[in-house]
Amino acid sequence: MYMIEARNIHKSFDNLHVLKGISLMVEEGEVIAIIGPSGSGKSTLLRCLIHLEVIDRGDIIIQGQPFAYEAEDGKSHYVDDKKIREICKKLGMVFQNFNLFPHKTVLENIIEAPIVVNKMDRKEAIDIAEDLLKRVGLEDKRDNYPSQLSGGQKQRVAIARALAMKPDIMLFDEPTSSLDPELTGEVLKVMRDLAEDRMTMLVVTHEMGFAREVADRVIFMDGGEIIEEGCPNDIFRNPSNVRTRSFLEQVL
């Protein structure tokens, strides 16, 4: 069973055709880096997988459970809201801008969803949160507010917050793009640890070093299509498509 099966996904914003028939199969424990120029649809693809955007055509199946499927009218239909929420709980997401809750402390950010969404006992949620904070190296920040943290610390809290819901798949949407260069390392390290623990990960990134060293598979997107995909060695050393080659020449 695939963790994610996306078939022939199309997505338009008004007249802008952003995804032009993307198909993607993700296996358990796989780490996939999605690279490509801005505006190529990488972020939109992630957002479609977790229902932040609604697809126009195609199917999305998460761990064998369909949540959007193309009907005979040629349009995608979604299962009901409750079922969508149930399926999306298996996915965690980390945003470029963190989206931490500013009115809650670090600890409260992490325990909020387990308590409110999963009705977890508060004490149990705190135990889990403290373990996660240790894992991302921020146990001493538990009572700080997000505004008192650096960008790298915020992003590590955001990762801990997503992990508190025990997702099977983690989506990262340019997790280091809004960080100062010297702070990207601490976030990438946490992501590396996660990959070593065999978390299934989809990472939209401009960090080519990370893609090369950590990813099992690299997908190059341009103009709303997957142009080329393969293991990092092939993509980075020997890209077969001319667009991949010219993109890599610009960023490397």
Q: List residues binding another protein (CB under 8 A).
A: 50-52, 85, 88-89, 91-93, 95, 97, 99-104, 112-113, 116-118, 145-147, 161-162, 165
> Which of 112, 130 has the CB closer to another protein?
112
Shortest Å distance, C-beta 24 to another protein = 19
Shortest Å distance, C-beta 157 to another protein = 12
| CA proximity to 47, closest of 153, 174, 164, 209 | 174
Shortest Å distance, C-beta 50 to another protein = 6
> Which of 38, 147 has the CB closer to another protein?
147
Q: 3 vs 10, 118, 129, 166, 201, CA distance in Å? A: 20, 22, 26, 15, 10
**CA-CA distance, 233 to 240, in Å (whole number)?**
12
Shortest Å distance, C-beta 104 to another protein = 8
Cβ atoms of 217 and 231 within 8 Å: the answer is: yes
> Which of 154, 243 has the CB closer to another protein?
154
3-state secondary structure of 232: helix
Cβ atoms of 5 and 67 within 8 Å: the answer is: no
> Which of 157, 188 has the CB closer to another protein?
157
